[in-house]
Chains A and B, each alone.
Chain A
Amino acid sequence: DAGVTQSPTHLIKTRGQQVTLRCSPKSGHDTVSWYQQALGQGPQFIFQYYEEEERQRGNFPDRFSGHQFPNYSSELNVNALLLGDSALYLCASSLRSGVAGELFFGEGSRLTVL
C-alpha cells in the first residue's frame, strides 16, 4: 500500500518563474491538503481539495493555486515566485468523512527560489 508520494523532491527556480508540484494521496484517501513549511517553522495551511474543488484556503495569495484530478491526485502551482516562497511543500492526504482527520504526509518537495 503506497503512502503519499510527492514529486519532485527538490527543485531550484529563479524569481518570477512558475512551479508545479505534484501529489498522489494514500490509497483510499479522497482529500488532499497542501502545507508550506519554512525552515524552523510549523506547516502553514495553504488549501484543501475534495471532490476536485478547493474547500478550504489559508492565508496565501492568489499566486498559489491548485487542482485535484478525478483519481484524487493533486497539483500545487505557484506563479511569479518570490524568494520568500523557498520552503518545504508538504502534501497530506486524509478522508473527509468522520472525526478521524489524521493526515498522512508525503516526504515533501523542497523548493529553493534564487
Chain B
Amino acid sequence: GQQVMQIPQYQHVQEGEDFTTYCNSSTTLSNIQWYKQRPGGHPVFLIQLVKSGEVKKQKRLTFQFGEAKKNSSLHITATQTTDVGTYFCAGQGWSGGYNKLIFGAGTRLAVHP
C-alpha cells in the first residue's frame, strides 16, 4: 500500500538557523499536504501542493513538490521559537474515486533561543 516516509525524525536548531524536512512517497501522488502539530495540539493544515515541480512560499516557509510527484520538502528560513512543533507531510492518492490522506511519521523541530 501507499507509504510516506519523512526525515529527519527529530531536529533541534538554534534560533535563527534554517530547517528542512523531506518527504518521500512510495507511489505517485495526486497532491501533497503539510501540517503542523504543536505539542499537545492537533494537526493544522499549512499548505497543499498539486502540480509537478510546484514551489510555494508562506513568509519564512518554502514548500516544494518534486517533478515526479513522489517527494516534497519544507524549508524554514531563520527559525523562531514559534516554529516549534512536529511537521507532517501527508500524501493524497485516489482510489475508486475517494481520496485518502496518508501521513508521514513527522519531523519534530526544537528551537533553542
Contact = CB atoms under 8 A, between A and B. Distances in A.
B104 A42 contact: yes
Contacts of B81: none
Bin chain B's interface residue count: 20 to 34
B41 to A, nearest CB: 8
Bin chain A's interface residue count: 20 to 34
10 contacts: A33-B100, A33-B101, A42-B103, A48-B98, A55-B96, A90-B42, A102-B48, A103-B35, A103-B101, A105-B44
Interface of B: 1, 6, 30-31, 33, 35, 41-45, 48, 50, 88, 90, 92, 95-96, 98-106
A103 B41 CA distance: 15
Interface stretch (A10-18, A64-72, A75-83, A93-101): A93-101
Nearest to B99: A101
Nearest to B86: A42
A1 B107 CA distance: 31
A85 interface: no
Contact of A107 (B33, B42, B50, B105): B42
Contacts of A25: none
